[in-house]
Amino acid sequence: MRAIVVEEFGPPESLTVQERPEPEPGPGQVRIRVEAAGVNFVDSIMASGGYQFSPRVPYVPGSEVAGTVDAVGEGVDAVAVGDRVLASCGFGGFAEAVTVKADQALAIPDGLDTATAATVVQAYGTGLFALEMRAGLKEGETLLVLGAGGGVGLAAVDVGRALGARVFAAASSEAKRDAALAAGAQAAIDYTTEDLKVRARELAGGTGVDVIYDPIGGDMAEASIRALGDFGRYLVIGFVGGIPKVPTNQILLRNRSVVGVEWGGWALFHPEENAVLIRRLLDLLAEGRLHPSAPVAYALEEGPAVLAALVARELTGKAVLVP
């Protein structure tokens, strides 16, 4: 089978497409014929060797897939050959086939196409965990999403809207701001030309926003925190723009909070609670309360270039690789 391979940790451009043996499902596993694989920032971090844990090289990256089960291992009875499923596989997804534990292969909700199904679990799972479980976002509160035109940001906009919040989006390009508005944001901020703190406070009625969802970090962090109102919560999602130095005096003022969000680590050690979270996510999708945008599809051979564009923050929305 064809697969993208990390021979040595490095930039996306160092990845290659190779022929690899097709995996066989072991006891309790199923094999998924990959029809689409979501492209996520974590895939590039892992391939560079900068993630909190590193697979042994060589390995196949790709942490999120959707497709059809074409083989099952011994002892599997809840999943059958022919089932349409999505799965978070950790790595191995940028290939024509991947094996996962049977309980990781979840039925794709009716009405959700395969390409979109390959992009919802990580982005929307992070958004639901962060906004509902970590921030306790309430109906009628205000939410500011940074990096709102990327896949993670668009999912947060959609989740915030579904939870009844007034959502504002901040993004660097007109295309990304338009995508965020289409996803349900009530207003968009161009933080390359507008004062983020001032504009966000204006949109929130002058008192500051209740929750900030920040996958960017870097220079955006301080202005974001200053935009928070009384008892505002600043969610630390990621560091695409670098790890910021947070001014703790701004946390003290107005009783603000900085809230860490590590859904992956939590899910690993709380599998039963995470299963409830994922079931809630799939139910929201099935009920039509969430509206994920369709991703842009690329050939498997384009994977290294797509990952490079993601790292450079040149992509709008989500992307999938189609083996």
Q: What is the pLDDT of residues 19-54, one digit of tens each?
A: 999 999 999 999 999 999 999 999 999 999 988 778
What's the count of helices (H) and strands (E) in the chain, helices before strands?
11, 15
Query: pLDDT over 70 for what percent of the chain?
Result: 100
User: Tokens 């945008």 sit at which residue?
Assistant: 293
User: Residue 115: what pLDDT?
Assistant: 97
What's the pLDDT score for residue 295? Answer: 96
Q: What pLDDT sits at residue 113?
A: 95
Of 94-98, 126-130, 310-314, minimum mean pLDDT range: 310-314
pLDDT digits (tens, 9 = 90+) for 149-204: 999 999 999 999 999 999 999 999 999 999 999 999 999 999 999 999 999 999 99
pLDDT, position 130: 98
pLDDT at res. 51: 81
Cα separation of 111 and 225, whole Å? 39
Band of pLDDT at residue 60, cut at 50, 70 and 90: very high
Q: Give the mean pLDDT of 308-312.
A: 92
Strand order in the sheet with 228-236: 187-190, 166-171, 142-146, 209-214, 228-236, 257-260
Answer whether 0.95 is exceeded by the pTM. no
Handedness of CA 17, 22, 27, 32 (dihedral sign): positive
The rounded distance, in Å, linking the Cα atoms of 25 and 126 is 28
Output the average pLDDT for the chain.
95
- Report pLDDT for 225: 96
* pLDDT per position as a tens digit, 96-105: 999 999 999 9
Residue 242 predicted with pLDDT over 90: no
What is the dihedral angle through the alpha carbons of 58, 60, 63, 64, rounded to the nearest 10 degrees? -170
User: What per-residue confidence (pLDDT) applies to 6?
Assistant: 97
Q: Residue 313 — very low, low, confident or very high, per pLDDT cuts 50/70/90?
A: confident
